[in-house]
């Protein structure tokens, strides 16, 4: 129920804001707005002020909305009202009305990010877990336990790293650009800092996923190698492990953090089982020797080890909060960064450098809505900001039937001095609908694959 409510509320807010942008600028430009609708299909609620020409509607199908304006191309307009019709407005006014929807979505994202920056958010500290074996981070000399103070991608000036989320975001952008990353790290608080260079270079895949961060080697923040909830029918329960046990060693390997322990368990596939055998476990001040045999399961067709327990305690956290000006500036910066990252990913998918699996449909978005809402208001606001950016950017794409497609028509009109002909308009609209349906089909297929897989 929470997932459904969070999803519907998110759609209602983002669509209403988008359409309000169109509506507000249309009214400011002197265009008569006949209907403002959030959703399509059967009307659920309808109201109209006595002195207003606009009918406000909430419809049953929430995946979209529209603003219907007086327009001679849709219905006859009385001669004395032609100056109120959209099609008779100057080119600049028409372009402003069309662009207002997606731009207001981007503005909403700035506001949401700013509110989160002002209120503060709990995030994992930028203290690194032991890097993945053979990864870029391990080759750079990182061993785990380092605190990242500053970071820079390529030739940029190093900036302070407030949290592990900040570091992960910088790594993702650098990997997409094929840029190296320099880190200033320290082993002990107040100790001597040293510089580390992560030579990322061109990545074999442009997908920002778990595999990318495993290649880099920085998968998560440092956590205690502690056993959490234990499933009654798993390998951990069979070996006698309990919640709260602190794992000191696995066979001859000393364990220093939860990520390292998870890697050892995943690698126990019956061949060289590094996580099989005797574990040294600290429990209530005593050290116990327990024999643990991980179960081998398939994940995406590959065998991995599992013990049927949550592995690793929560990481050290820090409250990231900004002042009034810094918070607003960081809100604009994050909106810009997410927008450009979205555009780059779309471009890479078009030319085949990134997988179409990156397209998410309504089922995945609904799942993220529910999960973020369950984590609290701050995480839900961050989810709304991310989706608002995506909605704004996608609608600005030069694809017929989208706002960006209409802006493309207006650009043609500005350059040539004449509008797109009716026959070409029809052809482009059909092509745009076909592309849009194809994208929606791929996104829905990806959703079902994630759910059923």
Phi, psi of 112 (to 5 degrees): -65, -45
Encode pLDDT of 289-318 as tens digits.
998 888 888 877 788 888 889 888 888 888
Contact call for residues 106 and 389 (beta carbons, < 8 A):
yes
| Spans of all domains in the chain | 91-120+323-453, 136-216, 227-307
Reported as a pLDDT band with limits 50, 70 and 90, residue 69 is very high
Mean pLDDT over residues 360-373, rounded? 82
Closest CA to 11 of 286, 319, 366, 363: 366
Closest CA to 388 of 326, 331, 322: 331
Closest CA to 218 of 142, 325, 154, 322: 142
Q: Which of 121-135, 378-392, 432-446 has the lowest mean pLDDT?
A: 432-446
Share of the chain above pLDDT 90, in %: 36
For the segment(s) 227-307, the CATH number from 2.30.42.10, 3.40.190.10, 3.50.50.60, 3.40.50.720 is 2.30.42.10
Contact call for residues 308 and 230 (beta carbons, < 8 A):
yes
The SS3 of residue 188 is coil
Determine whether 232 is exposed, middle or buried from the number of CB atoms within 10 Å of its CB (0-12, 13-18, 19+).
exposed
- Give dist(CA 103, CA 100) in Å, integer: 5
HSE-CB for 107 with a 13 A CA cutoff: 10
Closest CA to 259 of 284, 217, 223, 209: 223
Contact call for residues 59 and 39 (beta carbons, < 8 A):
yes
Exactly one of 19, 146, 179, 226 is catalytic; which is it?
Answer: 19
136-216 and 227-307: identical CATH topology: yes
pLDDT at 275 over 60: no
Mean pLDDT over residues 81-105, rounded? 94
- Give dist(CA 48, CA 67) in Å, integer: 14
- Give dist(CA 362, CA 359) in Å, integer: 10
pLDDT at 357 over 90: no
pLDDT at 31 over 60: yes
- At a CB cut-off of 8 Å and minimum separation 6, what does 401 contact? 429, 432, 433, 436
Please give the helix or strand (H or E) that residue 299 lies within, else none.
strand 295-299
pLDDT at 11 over 80: yes
Q: Which CATH class is domain 136-216?
A: mainly beta
Contact call for residues 339 and 354 (beta carbons, < 8 A):
no
Active site residue 422: no
DSSP 236-263: HHHHT--TT-EEEEETTEE--SHHHHHH
């Amino acid at each position: 129920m929470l997932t459904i409510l969070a999803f519907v509320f998110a759609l209602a807010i983002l669509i209403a804001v988008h359409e309000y942008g169109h509506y507000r600028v249309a009214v400011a430009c002197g265009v008569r707005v006949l209907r403002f609708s959030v959703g399509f299909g059967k009307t659920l609620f309808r109201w109209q002020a006595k002195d207003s020409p606009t009918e406000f509607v909430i419809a049953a199908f929430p995946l979209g909305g529209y603003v219907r304006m007086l327009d001679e191309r849709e219905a006859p307009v009385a001669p004395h009202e032609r100056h109120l019709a959209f099609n008779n407005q100057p080119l600049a006014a028409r372009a402003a009305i069309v662009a207002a929807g997606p731009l207001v979505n981007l503005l909403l994202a700035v506001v949401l990010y700013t509110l989160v920056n002002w209120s503060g958010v709990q995030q994992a500290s930028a203290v690194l877990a032991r890097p993945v074996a053979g990864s870029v981070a391990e080759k750079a000399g990182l061993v785990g336990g380092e605190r990242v103070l500053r970071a820079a991608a390529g030739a940029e000036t190093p900036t302070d790293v407030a949290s592990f989320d900040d570091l992960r975001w910088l790594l993702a952008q650098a990997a997409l650009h094929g840029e190296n990353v320099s880190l200033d790290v320290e082993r002990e608080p107040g100790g001597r800092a040293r510089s580390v260079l992560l030579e990322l270079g061109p990545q074999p895949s442009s997908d920002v996923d778990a595999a990318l961060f495993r290649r880099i080697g920085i998968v998560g923040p440092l956590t205690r190698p502690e056993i959490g909830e234990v499933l009654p029918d798993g390998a951990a329960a069979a070996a006698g492990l309990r919640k709260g046990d602190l794992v000191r060693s696995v066979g001859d390997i000393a364990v220093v953090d939860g990520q390292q322990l998870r890697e050892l368990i995943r690698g126990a596939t019956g061949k060289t089982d590094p996580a099989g055998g005797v574990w040294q476990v600290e429990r209530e001040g005593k050290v116990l020797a327990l024999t643990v045999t991980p179960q081998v399961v398939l994940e995406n067709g590959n065998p991995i080890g599992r013990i049927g327990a949550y592995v690793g305690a929560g990481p050290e956290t820090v409250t990231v909060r900004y002042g009034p000006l810094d918070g607003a500036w960081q809100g604009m910066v994050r909106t810009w960064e997410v927008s450009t990252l979205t555009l780059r990913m779309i471009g890479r998918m078009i030319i085949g450098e990134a997988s179409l699996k990156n397209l998410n449909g309504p089922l995945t978005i609904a799942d993220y809505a529910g999960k973020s809402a369950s984590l609290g208001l701050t995480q839900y606001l961050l989810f709304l900001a991310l989706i608002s950016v995506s909605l704004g950017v996608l609608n600005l794409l030069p694809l017929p039937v989208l706002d960006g497609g209409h802006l493309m028509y207006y650009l043609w009109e500005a350059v040539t001095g004449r509008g797109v002909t009716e026959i070409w308009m029809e052809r482009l609209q059909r092509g745009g609908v076909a592309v849009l349906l194809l994208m929606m089909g791929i996104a829905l297929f990806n959703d079902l694959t994630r759910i059923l897989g």
